[in-house]
Structure 1
Amino acid sequence: MSGLRAFLDPRSIAVIGASDNPHKIGGRPIHYLGKFGFKGAVYPINPSRPEIQGRRSYGSLADLPEAPDLAIVAVAGDTAVSTVEDCAARGVKAVVVMASGFGEVDPVAGKAKEQRMTAAARQAGMRIVGPNTQGLANFGSGTIVSFSTLFTEFDRAGGHVAMLSQSGALSTAPVSFLLRKGIGVRHCHATGNDCDVSVGELACAVAEDPEVKLLLLYLESIPDARHLEQLAAIARERDLPIIALKSGRSVAGQRAAQSHTGALANEDRVVDAFLAHHGIWRAPDIRGLVEASELYLKGWQPTGRRLVAVSNSGAVCVLTADAASEVGMPMAELAPHIDQQLKAILPSFATAANPIDLTAAMLSNDRLFGEILPVLAADPGADAFVIGLPVLGQGYDIAGIAEDSAALARQTGKPVLMASTQPAIARQFAERGIAVFPTEVEAVTALHQFVAHRELMAKAAARRTSSRGEAPRQPAAQAMVMLNEADSLALLAQHGLAVVPHRLCRSPSEVAAAVAAIGTPVVVKGCSADIAHKSELGLVRLNVGDEAAACQAFAAMEAIIRAQGARFDGVIVAAMAQGRRELMIGAHRDPVFGPVVVVGDGGKYVEVLRDTALLLPPFGSDEVNEALHSLRIAPLFAGVRGEPAMDTEALARAVVAIGRLMIAQADVMSVDLNPVLINDAGAGVVVVDAVVFRAAEQVRAD
């Protein structure tokens, strides 16, 4: 936080372009600084007014009694650029540039203006947030340097949630949802175009605030992942959950993000893999960003997914079970002694099995709810509880039911959620610390997010404990050269992968010797570092039955390759490998996120069917197996209709080996193994074809 302290906890603030109108961009921050109790000096700068909002106004930066820690630049366009340069010359530590009309509207001239500001700032050791930013708000220190309209709607804010966004509107819209749920906010920051300080870097500083218990992010682009990695490391140390909403999932969304921020969109599936790898939950929309927020603030440490549901409605019981099944939260099987105790308490027409339907018996017995909850609390198989009471009213001991629910949460220390459509009823539960949702489906959805996110965080922490370091990145513009297939297979074999038995042959006599050594039938393939896809050119012949046919294939393939103007490196004579199914393993070096490994269904339709999963190294076999079971073809791995299981353990080891290769050998830019043949359990996998690209500079050096 120390490097960005001037943004979050400055001793003095100058407002350049200050306005006496508290509803103008240059007036709102001055109003908010007073309203939210900023303790430092505030210097409005406006040469046409001696006083602004009851504070002395100054004609220029030079007239101030000191160089302020932080300056707000609330003047327009080109004037903002020269003003930033003035701030750098004056010794200002940090600047928030609210002006727009930069890279978000003109990727050439607008970006050039941003670069001019950044260059002046860096030379002076000054930092910039913006331009095109709505501003920053740290309610802990009263540093509200923002023109957001939302902050006019409440007198004070206090809480444990931090919201950071590249968008102004998307920094405050989630806060509005949170405030409506009664959840306080400590930080609300919008970084705009990120010309200097990125949203990730600012988030790192905010994450070090010990009062922050949940951090929310809205991202439109990720031009550099380093600060997000650093943020994830800080969060792991603090056990701080991070939820991110990253827009641009669709092609249309990616284009909109480009026009809005002037930044290139990231491949969306890589973003998914990156966030999961670092224990960051990716929300699908604004609702998913905030809906489970209060669960994170309860201090719960969930130990499993098994759910117990209780309701006075049979329909709600069924809907709760359906929702739980949909998200992969099994209904807990109650222990036999718990079942017996429940049956002794409940009337015969009620349902003692989970989900537990109390029916209308609660009207006849005010204490029925309070009698069964302590019994359920003692069940060792219960990891969380959802109480669904769609309609309550006169005749029900609502206060008693709410207190019994709160006692269940205190007794177990486990998640207890309540669903109610009635605001007045929900309020009584919320006042006793129970997380309340309008419907049982929303409650289960939020609970699943919370539990699954905690599992994701635990995996990320375990991975960092056991890993040997992060994988290196390569510059995006790195020139590459393709290795021929023989060299590609040799590289893979060096890194422990099982490759098909083969020989590279540069003459008919070598072909004959290879056929004799390998045994018929064989595969003959043309080999050239200039040709990646061989089948289309007739450079692959299967089931070649004798030496003469193999030598004939050699001559034909040499002619084809030379006719293409490509290098002729010989032909590969390989064994006819067998397997249960064709799979693929690939890897490439993303310029933002580093190495990315992909595994999935293979063969010639791989680009059409796209049944693959992504992983970011380093990872282990357990993570690969989890990825394999996310594929559409996953049911085939266990064997169907009497077939034996496939060797997914060997496949997982091969994928781990590719991940290690990408870490160990930074000059390898991409790997494409297709097909990889998988056999019965215990019989392994074999790489049949491979294309590897390496950095051109390293290949020349070799």
Structure 2
Amino acid sequence: MSRLRAALDPKSIAIIGASDNPNKVGGRPVHFLGKFGFKGKIYPINPTRPEIQGHKSYASLQDLPEAPEMVIVAVAGDNAIAAVEDCAAAGVKVAVVMASGFGEVDQIAGKAKERRMVEAARKAGMRIVGPNSQGLANFGTGAIASFSTMFVEMEPAAANAKGHVAMLSQSGALSTVPVGFLRQRGIAVRHTHATGNDSDITVGELACAVAEDPEVKLMLLYLESIPDKAYLEELAAIALDRDLPIIALKSGRTEAGKAAAQSHTGALANEDRVVDAFFEHHGIWRAPDMRGLVEATELYLKGWKPQGRRLVAISNSGAVCVLTADAATQVGMPMAKLASETDAKLKSILPGFATTTNPIDLTAALLSNSALFGDILPVIAKDPAADAFLIGVPVAGPGYDVPAFSRDTAAFAEQTGKPVVVAATQPSVAQVFAANGTSVFPTEVEAVSALHQFLAHHELMFRARSRRATRPPSEALITPRAETLMLNEADSLALLSSRGVPVVPHRLCLSRSEAVAAFTLIDGPVVVKGCSADIAHKSELGLVRLGVTSADATGAIYTEMEQIIAKAGARFDGVIVAAMAGGRREMMIGAHRDPVFGPVVVIGDGGKYVEVFRDTKLLLPPFAAADVHDALKGLRIAPLFAGAHGEPPMDVDAFVEAVVRVGEIMRDESAGVVSIDLNPVMLGSAGEGCVVVDAVVFHGA
């Protein structure tokens, strides 16, 4: 926290616009600082009152006995700007600006006002949080520089409990709403910060500082925009080094959501699939909604080190067993196949009508023999195939020894050191399990969902850590050139070939006689295509002819295409005569430079319907062959690669190598490539390779 210590652990705090009313924006921070045990100095500033909430009040910043490390600016409009300028002149280290009405509502005048504040701060070495910030709250130190209503409901004892979760948000409400959910589950939060418009200190920069707090074991983020990837990349590196999981909820998945974010915080909309790829690349779990942001929180705080995702389910209900298996299968958690020794021991313990294969159905026998739970758990604990466990208790009560079930489950979790969750619908039953430290969910679907997230996120972090260890770090973002030029197809193919990407055998012909000669050299049916740096979509103008079978036809087509291009008013760069390339599947490789995230490579099913079916995956360079293989497994067409209905497998390795080469081109600034569109890339059977038959490359001017 050293870089932003004054924002997270200030020794003194002044409140400009302080109020004696604890329910006003200027009164809340004064109240909270006292309520939650802030040990530093508190300086309310209000020229109309000699005392505010038991603290001596000062008429102005200049009247304070010292320059406070932090100032909360709780006045509106232009008064806030003047207050920030006063803070900068006085030697304040951090100003938390709560005023709204800036860039979030006016992209021109509002942003100009923000820039005025930031420029004044930077000249003096001061930092700004906000504007439009609900404030910062560090419950570890009691530095609650916030006006959140959520904290009114929190008791000091609960807030000061040892919390290990940090919540950071660009939105004020979304910095505290998750805190309410977590409090309901008895989970304390250490940090909850809202950065507002991110005019200076961004949510990413603040998160980097918070991630250095050794007491933080889980970080939650709410983002409406990612204007700069650098701090998030640094945050991810810190988190991977610390084994600190990060869960991010990024809004604006839809066009309507992007528009709402724009009006909310003045956020820049990010292309959503690129955001997905960025988070995955860096080991950050992207939550789909608020529930996904918080539902698995307590699992992350258990200290478990999972080794896989094979699940064992145990219940006294056959229906719960079936539903658990369904839910696990849908999220990609295989049901563990227990060893024959385990099955034999279970059969010796359970009645004959119970099910000993996984999922294990104890049936109603549990009602007459509550010891069954304690008897079978130690047996299952020894099975090496089990990575995680779900215990379903949909109905229990009088006649069931629920306290014994709970104790046995807690002991089982302690013995295995593996993830264990319980699904218990009845609150009375759930409370007994929770009292013994077991993670309890109302239904098996919710339990499986949380368990899947925890296990899959652990795997995601492992892959990101391995990628970081074996691949060079991402370079500084290469700013796309203001102007770009499309290369003609011959030049595009030549560039790709020079970088090791396999391209179809072809000849660029600048005369009819050359076209005729090219047909003879290629020796077989050919493809004839008009070549022009002004025409990207040749088929629409009739500039692609397939299966040409004679030299005379090739010459005639040359003349025809020369005329078509001239009529279109485009440059004539010649005619390409290429071999007819066969293959098993039309694939595609695309790439472009995102203005925020840099190079992005898209791979997937190709052909003319690529934009209809959109069976593609994104990768962010640098990546290796293993990353491409993992991405291909996520395509809907993935089962075809191994061969179907007796067909031989396809040459996936060759396609993967071509993708890696494209990624290298996009990382190489000297190549000057802005975008690449390769479709189709013909993929053959194993050993036959792949070949690019159509290419469009845009180059920086």
Q: Note the C-alpha offset of 1:585.
A: 0.3
1:694 alignment partner, one of 671, 695, 699: 699
1:212 alignment partner, one of 204, 209, 216: 216
SS at match of 1:26: coil
Q: Counterpart of 1:453 in structure 2: which amino acid?
A: H
2 CA distance for matches of 1:31 and 1:338?
60
Q: Note the C-alpha offset of 1:555.
A: 1.6
1:490-505 matches, within 5 Å, as 490-505=494-509
1:376 alignment partner, one of 380, 395, 413: 380
Please say if residues 529 and 569 of structure 1, whose CA atoms lie closer than 8 Å, have aligned partners that are also in contact: yes
Q: Counterpart of 1:206 in structure 2: which amino acid?
A: V
1:597 aligns with 2:601: yes
1 CA distance for matches of 2:285 and 2:622?
19
2:679 alignment partner, one of 644, 669, 674: 674
Q: Note the C-alpha offset of 1:422.
A: 1.7
2 CA distance for matches of 1:555 and 1:125?
69
Q: Note the C-alpha offset of 1:435.
A: 0.6
Q: Counterpart of 1:91 in structure 2: which amino acid?
A: G
SS at match of 1:391: coil
Q: Counterpart of 2:594 in structure 1: which amino acid?
A: D
1:72 corresponding residue in structure 2: 72
Map Cα deviations across residues 156-182 of structure 1 (whole Å, 9 max, x no partner).
Answer: 323100000011111111110001001
1:171 aligns with 2:175: yes
1:189 corresponding residue in structure 2: 193
2:440 alignment partner, one of 431, 436, 439: 436
1:700 corresponding residue in structure 2: none
Please say if residues 472 and 595 of structure 1, whose CA atoms lie closer than 8 Å, have aligned partners that are also in contact: no
1:137 aligns with 2:137: yes
Between 1:416-425 and 1:207-216, the stretch displaced more is 416-425
Map Cα deviations across residues 523-574 of structure 1 (whole Å, 9 max, x no partner).
Answer: 1111111111111111111112222222222222222222222221111111
Q: Note the C-alpha offset of 1:364.
A: 2.1
2 CA distance for matches of 1:652 and 1:411?
43
1 CA distance for matches of 2:505 and 2:432?
72
Structure 2 residues not aligned, in runs of 5+? none
SS at match of 1:80: helix
Please say if residues 473 and 590 of structure 1, whose CA atoms lie closer than 8 Å, have aligned partners that are also in contact: no
1:610 corresponding residue in structure 2: 614
1:307 aligns with 2:294: no
Q: Note the C-alpha offset of 1:609.
A: 2.0
Q: Counterpart of 1:102 in structure 2: which amino acid?
A: F
Q: Note the C-alpha offset of 1:521.
A: 1.4
2:366 corresponding residue in structure 1: 362
SS at match of 1:414: coil
Q: Counterpart of 2:202 in structure 1: which amino acid?
A: S
Map Cα deviations across residues 122-155 of structure 1 (whole Å, 9 max, x no partner).
Answer: 1111111101111000011111000001111122
1:538 corresponding residue in structure 2: 542
Please say if residues 478 and 669 of structure 2, whose CA atoms lie closer than 8 Å, have aligned partners that are also in contact: no
SS at match of 2:455: helix
Q: Note the C-alpha offset of 1:363.
A: 2.3
1 CA distance for matches of 2:404 and 2:668?
62
Q: Note the C-alpha offset of 1:476.
A: 5.0
1:280 corresponding residue in structure 2: 284
Q: Counterpart of 2:253 in structure 1: which amino acid?
A: R
Structure 1 residues not aligned, in runs of 5+? 697-702
Q: Note the C-alpha offset of 1:477.
A: 5.8
Q: Note the C-alpha offset of 1:209.
A: 0.3
1:225-264 matches, within 5 Å, as 225-264=229-268
Q: Counterpart of 1:590 in structure 2: which amino acid?
A: D
Please say if residues 471 and 594 of structure 1, whose CA atoms lie closer than 8 Å, have aligned partners that are also in contact: no
2 CA distance for matches of 1:520 and 1:333?
55
1:115 corresponding residue in structure 2: 115
SS at match of 2:490: helix
1:81 aligns with 2:81: yes
Please say if residues 480 and 700 of structure 2, whose CA atoms lie closer than 8 Å, have aligned partners that are also in contact: no
1:322 corresponding residue in structure 2: 326
1 CA distance for matches of 2:401 and 2:382?
24
Please say if residues 471 and 617 of structure 1, whose CA atoms lie closer than 8 Å, have aligned partners that are also in contact: no
1:291 corresponding residue in structure 2: 295
TM-score (ref. length: structure 2): 0.98
Q: Note the C-alpha offset of 1:626.
A: 2.0
1:241-640 matches, within 5 Å, as 241-475=245-479, 478-640=482-644
Q: Note the C-alpha offset of 1:66.
A: 1.0
1:104 corresponding residue in structure 2: 104
Q: Note the C-alpha offset of 1:194.
A: 0.6
Q: Counterpart of 2:500 in structure 1: which amino acid?
A: G
1 CA distance for matches of 2:316 and 2:223?
42
TM-score (ref. length: structure 1): 0.98
C-alpha RMSD over aligned residues:
1.1
Q: Counterpart of 1:458 in structure 2: which amino acid?
A: F
Please say if residues 471 and 618 of structure 1, whose CA atoms lie closer than 8 Å, have aligned partners that are also in contact: no
2 CA distance for matches of 1:400 and 1:293?
26
SS at match of 1:132: coil
2 CA distance for matches of 1:45 and 1:539?
75
Q: Counterpart of 1:587 in structure 2: which amino acid?
A: A
SS at match of 1:331: coil
2 CA distance for matches of 1:629 and 1:382?
24
Q: Counterpart of 2:388 in structure 1: which amino acid?
A: A
2 CA distance for matches of 1:264 and 1:608?
27
1:91 corresponding residue in structure 2: 91
1:46 corresponding residue in structure 2: 46
Q: Note the C-alpha offset of 1:402.
A: 0.7
Please say if residues 207 and 235 of structure 1, whose CA atoms lie closer than 8 Å, have aligned partners that are also in contact: yes
Q: Note the C-alpha offset of 1:266.
A: 0.6
Q: Note the C-alpha offset of 1:470.
A: 1.0
1 CA distance for matches of 2:337 and 2:646?
31
Please say if residues 595 and 617 of structure 1, whose CA atoms lie closer than 8 Å, have aligned partners that are also in contact: yes
2 CA distance for matches of 1:321 and 1:510?
66
Q: Note the C-alpha offset of 1:279.
A: 0.3
Q: Counterpart of 2:284 in structure 1: which amino acid?
A: I
Q: Note the C-alpha offset of 1:184.
A: 0.6
1 CA distance for matches of 2:614 and 2:482?
27
2 CA distance for matches of 1:60 and 1:303?
59
Please say if residues 473 and 589 of structure 1, whose CA atoms lie closer than 8 Å, have aligned partners that are also in contact: no
Please say if residues 481 and 700 of structure 2, whose CA atoms lie closer than 8 Å, have aligned partners that are also in contact: no
1 CA distance for matches of 2:147 and 2:429?
37
1 CA distance for matches of 2:279 and 2:12?
37
**Aligned CA distance change for structure 1 residues 138 and 476 (closer, same or farther; 3 Å):** farther
Please say if residues 421 and 439 of structure 2, whose CA atoms lie closer than 8 Å, have aligned partners that are also in contact: yes
2 CA distance for matches of 1:471 and 1:317?
49
Map Cα deviations across residues 411-450 of structure 1 (whole Å, 9 max, x no partner).
Answer: 1100011111122221221121111111111101100000
Q: Counterpart of 1:402 in structure 2: which amino acid?
A: S
2 CA distance for matches of 1:235 and 1:491?
39
Q: Note the C-alpha offset of 1:472.
A: 4.5
Map Cα deviations across residues 98-123 of structure 1 (whole Å, 9 max, x no partner).
Answer: 00001111111111111111111111
Map Cα deviations across residues 309-334 of structure 1 (whole Å, 9 max, x no partner).
Answer: 11111111111111111111111111
SS at match of 2:72: strand
SS at match of 1:332: coil
2:650 corresponding residue in structure 1: 646
Please say if residues 588 and 605 of structure 2, whose CA atoms lie closer than 8 Å, have aligned partners that are also in contact: yes
Q: Note the C-alpha offset of 1:471.
A: 4.5
Q: Note the C-alpha offset of 1:4.
A: 1.1
1:658 aligns with 2:662: yes
Alignment length, in residue pairs? 696
Q: Note the C-alpha offset of 1:288.
A: 0.4
SS at match of 1:20: coil
